[in-house]
Structure 1
Amino acid sequence: MKTIGIDLGTANTYLYGRDSASAEPLPLILPRISDEKGCIATVVLYEDSKPLLIGNIAESEYYANRAAMPARTLRSQFKPEIAHADSGAMLWMTDFLRQLRAALPQGVLEPESRIYVGMPSGTREDFSLNLSRCFTQAGWPRPAFVRESDAAMISCLQSGVLDIDDLENRALILDFGGGTCDFTSLESMDVLQNGGDPLLGGRLFDDLLFQVFCRGDELFRRDAPGCGYEYYLHWIQCKAEKERFSDAVGLDGADGVSLHAVWHDARGNRRDAYVHNYTREDFIRDAENYVATDSLRAMLSQYADRGGLSPQARDLLQGRRIGLLSWFKSILAGIDGRRDMAKVILTGGSSRWFFVQDMVGELFPAARLAMSRRTYEDIAYGLALYPVLAESHAAARALLGEKIEAFAAQACEVARNIVAKHAAFAVRLCTERIVDRDIMPVLEEAQKARKTVEEVERAFVENIRNDTGLMAVIREKTEALREEIQYELQQRFRAWLRQNGVPLAPRFEFPARALSKDFFDAVSVKVSRLAFLNIMDFMASAVLPAIAAYAVAGAIAHTGEPVSAVLGGGAAFAGVWGLGKVAKGFLWKRRLPGFFLTESNRRKIVQKNKAYIEAALGKAFAEVQASLADDAERRLHRALEAMLSRLTVLNQVRCARP
């Protein structure tokens, strides 16, 4: 086959092969070594320290041939120790892979075959280096390693359980398998968090069911522990009953299930053990008061001296009582952004437990829950599909590299237009606020108190300077600007990618926040300097003379105010309005007559100043826009280049669907 994907699990191994780019991956069934679904027990049977058998037949032979048992050893659970280059684990893994290669049907492994192997979340680089050495020593081609979370995601996307649009939001892939519990949190193709526990897995529940049989059946309790067929009962029979019980209470909703184990004693007599009406409540009680058997602790003894274990794992290895369900819940509770999670995908055999779905629903209230259609085979299937995606990814990457400049130019133009729109809106809002809050009240007060021009202008300046609401207006428009740039450019980016053959948009951090911060800072400075716009210069030289020309004579006639009391003498009054530009200087220290600031005249003064302020702010904001346009172009180019460098193979997944 052209491609072979290997999910080398702690408890079980799965292989999927693919003949050509157009073919769908198919499971590799190895007679006697695997079951009918392709599941291969990750175990090696040794006789006199020489590897004899692997897989399911190794477990059966170890149990069946008691006469040879003293010379035989069954090795399992060695995969995690590869990361530490444990010499025993390296030997067992190499022997397992050598026997696995020998068991492949004729013609499956070709000279040009490419091997893809899953890499668990959060493992050290040493894991892949050491495992690669085991593969090559066993006669395999040097493998390529892909994160198991990526492989599971490819499988879920291909099957339709996970949709491309789901990845635009935050999603969680929870892999609860036979040996470990792993999770990967993603958003827009970026891995936000990896985690889990290397000791929490289905094997603990196998052990729990073994104890249930020991407690509930006298014959089992007397004969099974320590006998030659304990391994078979403990890890094969109890595993099968565990899965049947899990399906019954989870999928069928059964209140109680009768458990049954069967074996043959040393004389060949059949033995049967029963536990009747084992309920969901019984299981929860036992799981929350679990103490590992000596057999399980011996199997996991290599972990005892390792650092980084969770408190529950340490208690497990030391034979203390722990809560298995509480342990699982604590892992979920440690996932960041739980309330923002839009979708949770469950994969791995142990994810079928009823309590898994219950806890996910409780801790991820906003998430939609989906069960993978290939619960056990997701990783191997995704690995076999991976290279086809990698090839199309390379072509798409080259295409995007050629056209990225075109989108950058388009994006810059969009950003400039959005900034211009929000700047114009901000000018209008600021102008209206200045007029309503900072100018009109001063004029109303001046009409009553007969203030001088100097006092009126100083009041204008102080009001504008102390108007914190202006900054609130600008801050509100800044946030609206940021949101619109982010949304509009993201939508255009997705459409542009799809037009160029990339249906899944990667996470692209548009510099919207940086642009909006620049906008806020620049506009804030301009508004804070409105005190220097010489508002009263305009009012005194262009507004007051026009008002006085038609209002002064009638107003004086009706009020009877002496001109000399207002403007310092008739001669001055006769020529003041012809002075134009020097009118302000003439009025500076003189009190304005009440009739200058009537309601009608105040409206005219305000309208003139409103137009003046709006024009001045418009000019100031135009300068801000010009500066931002250059910055936006530079920032967008850098962001696009960074995105292109992070473009992943998963962007091509829909193209490869059979």
Structure 2
Amino acid sequence: MAASWRRVVSENSVPSTARPSAEAQPVLAIDFGTSNTYVTKCPGDKEDPVGVDFGDGRDGIATAILYRDGKEPLIGHVALEEFGDAGAEHDDYRIRAQFKPDLVSSAEARTYARDFLVGLLTLARRQHKDIAPLQRQVIFGVPSEASETYRDALRAIAEEAGFGAVKTVDEPKGALYFHLQRKDITPIEALRGALVVDFGGGTCDFALLVRGEILHSWGDMHLGGRLFDDLFYQWFIEQNPEAVVAMRRERAEFFVLAVRCREVKEKFSLAMALDPTTVYRKTLGAYGRLNDVTWDSFLARARRYRPSETFAQYLRAMNPQAGAHLDTFPQGIDLLDWFRQTLRQGLAHEQMRHQDLACVILTGGSSAWPFVADIVTDELKQIQPKPIEPSQIERSPRLVHSDRPYVTVSQGLAIVPALQQRLAATQVDLRRELPAFIATRIAPLIERRMDEAAHRIAERVAVGLFDERIEPILRHFRQEGGSVADLKARLAEDAAAFRPQLEAIVTTQLAKVLTGVAADTTELMQDWYRQHRLTVDQSLSHAGTPVDMAEGLRLADLDVYGEISGVVLALSATIISVLAATISGGAGTAIIMSGPIGLLIGALVGLIAGALAMRYGLDEAKRRAEHWEGAPRWILARALSDTKIARLRADIKGQVADKVSAQSEQARDGLEHQVRARVEQEITSLSAISQLW
């Protein structure tokens, strides 16, 4: 290695005690990947991550290093292109890539990683990139399945390369924070449960995060995108056998496999995600052309994969354990089933079987393969309990996938300090503003909605019970006559028959009003949360079929509806008693009163009732009056005039509305309680997230 290269290490290896206070430091986050490395910097107090472009307009930099005798190594895409363009002319060129998964097992891999990171700092300094690791908090992402030995090795390599004492954080946490900051998921979802599927170039990593911490993780550090690189390499060789001689002559076999075939694989994956019926073709430089590549043919090859000799030699040299692992499958490996079985193994764990997932986050460059989402969705369905009712299907965890899944880890890790600071301040603001929000915005909304419901219920009861049942009976009685006792019996019979219809009216109308309250409340909460750069993923709700709201909101809460069901039963009995009281007296609209006066049908009937009472006594007078069938028609017409019938209708309607309003107080309290509890839950989630690290 050149002297100037060694000076870079020395200049950057300042003791970590030289760092400023962690609270004042900006952040430098590094996702050290198998195929590419992504570097992101971010202020310590602003969620403003900026990916570092090392000069070629790409996201990240290729994790590759080209050694050249007598010269400094080249790194990144420049190294790959230099080797591809001129490697045949230089016997001293040695390209190294895909060494990240082998840091524990291979001393050579650790050397390549250190030299690559040294080259990263050198390139940044020469391009005047402001990354200055010793003036920043430096965070390296690691697979959650990585052992402590791997983490120690990476920390030692980074410090030796000039990054100082770095912190290693599980990569799934970076993905979680990325989507949390982008509002793809809410704090409540982040704490409730998220499955992070990190499928990259060299690893396949699964992690269950609950309350922002990894509760269970598993995976396979042998399974990764580089196996698919090799699949396309073999595919290319089969179609271009003459290319092998040229590649060997130029010592470019591994370069074509790890670089050119990876590029083909990534573009093919993107094309298949857009249209799986596409027939794909691609030229690999001067070596030849890959033709007639289809999704079905890819799947067939993926289900019987065997490593090429080029790839097997690389694995045996870099990671004997990985090479031996692949050698145990002489009949070939089903790569898709390998992914499925790895996922299934973890889903069978007790922690997973009893966890209610809110979302599944797909991250890593290889997560863009269409089969990844299909397999994850299918396997999760197998462990979900069978839905008791259609509404429960909506509870399945939703897939969250960035359009740039390869940058989520580095950008997510970079924003952690600033995000935590903002969330801590937000929870204070929400708690302070909650009482006024309930009193000035939620309570008036609920009051207005419930009053509207009371009047709609009263009108429908008036139409269904009075207009269609009672009024025809009264008019018939006024015209044909008969005993008051028979009239009372007919009215009571029709009122009882109306009870199922009454309950349907109340149930339907209260369900509608609760849906409206849920939608309006959700909108108010969204406006309020938006002021604090938060999102709402749930709304206040009632039982029954979920009603989709904006941004996937649902109504599926059973609490309030349970209270309303009790109100319906009480209200039905109350309305029946109101009608009986109206028929038997009260509110100035009585036709028959059971008090001391006896029979009372208008003023004239009152005089007759008085005379009967004086002659027979009150009880007998009442009995005779109720069974008297010979009342003059003019008395009945006077007692049951159109005006009095209309007044009776209005009185019944008013009493029903009053009863609904009075009984709805319980529902009002329940809805306000839900809002308060939902916000408190959000505050709790913010508090938990702001304290994580």
Q: TM-score, normalised by structure 2?
A: 0.60
How much has 1:483 moved relative to structure 2? Answer: 1.6
**What per-residue deviation string (whole Å, max 9, x for no partner) do you get for residues 392-433 of structure 1?**
333333222322222132323432332233223323322332
1:537 to 561, 573, 584: 584
Matches within 5 A, 1:39-50: 39-41=61-63
Aligned to 1:528: 573
Amino acid at match of 1:406: A
Q: 2:297 aligns with which of 285, 303, 320?
A: 285
Residues 144-181 of structure 1 show CA distances to partners (whole Å, capped at 9, x for unaligned) of 55634335437867xxxx899xx9xxx99998754578
2:46 is the counterpart of 1:7: no
State the one-letter code of the partner of 1:429.
R
1:425 paired with 2:425, answer: no
CA contact (8 A) 1:408 1:640 kept: no
Q: Which residue of 1 is the match for residue 383 of structure 2?
A: none
SS of the residue corresponding to residue 640 of structure 2 reads: helix
Q: Report the secondary structure of 1:472's partner residue.
A: helix
- For 1:406 and 1:462, the matched residues in 2 are separated by 50
The 1:577/1:643 distance shift into structure 2, 3 A limit, reads: farther
Report 1:91-102 matches (<5 A). 102=118
Q: CA deviation at 1:235?
A: 2.1
Distance 1:150 1:413, change over 3 A: same
Structure 2 residue 681 is the aligned partner of structure 1 residue 642: yes
2:553 alignment partner in structure 1: none
Report whether the alignment pairs 1:236 with 2:281: no
Counterpart of 1:609 in structure 2 is 648
Change (3 A) 1:104 1:200: closer
Tell me, yes or no, if the aligned pair for 2:174 and 2:411 is still in contact at 8 Å. no
C-alpha displacement of 1:434: 2.1
CA distance in 1, matches of 2:461, 2:148: 63
Cα distance, 1:474 vs. partner? 1.0
Deviation at 1:20, TM superposition (A): 6.3
Unaligned runs of 5+ residues in structure 1 are 46-51, 80-86, 262-271, 307-312, 335-343, 361-368, 553-569, 652-658
CA contact 1:9–1:42 (8 Å) conserved in 2? no
Whether 2:428 is the aligned partner of 1:398: answer yes
In the TM superposition, residue 240 of structure 1 has moved relative to its aligned partner by 3.1
Could you tell me how far apart the structure 1 residues matched to 2:36 and 2:52 are?
A: 14
Cα drift, residue 506 of structure 1? 3.5
Residue matched to 2:167 = 142
Q: Can you list the C-alpha shifts for 1:414-466, whole angstroms capped at 9, x where unaligned?
A: 32332233223323322332213442354467679966434433443343334
Deviations 1:315-357, CA, capped at 9 Å, x for gaps: 9996256779x989x99xx9xxxxxxxxx99975457779999
Unaligned runs of 5+ in 2: 1-24, 68-72, 160-164, 348-359, 377-398, 543-556
Does the 8 Å CA contact 1:14/1:38 hold for their aligned counterparts?
A: yes
| Deviation larger for 596-605 or 508-517 | 596-605
CA separation of 1:147 and 1:229: change in aligned 2, threshold 3 A: same
Deviations 1:596-642 (A, max 9, x none): 77799375564343234234334433432444444444443332211
Q: For 2:482 and 2:681, locate their aligned partners in 1 and report how far apart those are by CA, in whole Å.
A: 61
The one-letter code matched in structure 2 to 1:209 is F
Letter in 2 for 1:484: G
Match of 1:319 in 2: 332
Give the 3 Å change call, closer, same or farther, for CA 577–99 of structure 1 in structure 2.
Answer: farther
Amino acid at match of 2:42: R
2:625 is the counterpart of 1:587 = yes
Instruction: Please state whether the residue corresponding to 1:647 is helix, strand or coil.
Output: helix
2:681 alignment partner, SS class = helix
Tell me the distance in 2 between the aligned counterparts of 1:419 and 1:374. 47
The within-5 A match list for 1:410-489 is: 410=440, 411-440=442-471, 442-443=473-474, 452-466=483-497, 467-489=499-521
SS at 2:287's partner residue? strand
| Cα RMSD, aligned residues only | 6.2
Measured in 1, the distance between the counterparts of 2:271 and 2:571 equals: 71
The residue identity in structure 1 corresponding to 2:572 is V
Asked whether the 8 Å contact 1:246–1:352 carries over to 2, the reply is: yes
- The one-letter amino acid paired with 2:516 is E
- Tell me the distance in 2 between the aligned counterparts of 1:316 and 1:429: 74
Q: Which residue of 1 aligns with 2:663?
A: 624
AA in 2 matched with 1:233: V
CA–CA separation in structure 2 for the residues paired with 1:577 and 1:134: 111
Q: CA deviation at 1:3?
A: 0.8
Deviation at 1:131, TM superposition (A): 6.6
Mark the CA change 1:243 to 1:548 in structure 2 (over 3 Å): closer, same or farther: closer
Cα deviation per residue 1:243-286 (whole Å; 9 max; x = unaligned)? 4666789999996635336xxxxxxxxxx53236x1354x5424
1:545–1:580: 8 Å Cα contact kept in structure 2?
Answer: no
User: CA offset at residue 473 of structure 1?
Assistant: 0.9
Which digits, 9 at most, give the CA deviation of each residue in 1:534-554, with x for residues without a partner?
A: 3331243369967566799xx
Query: Percent of aligned positions with the same letter in both sequences?
Result: 20
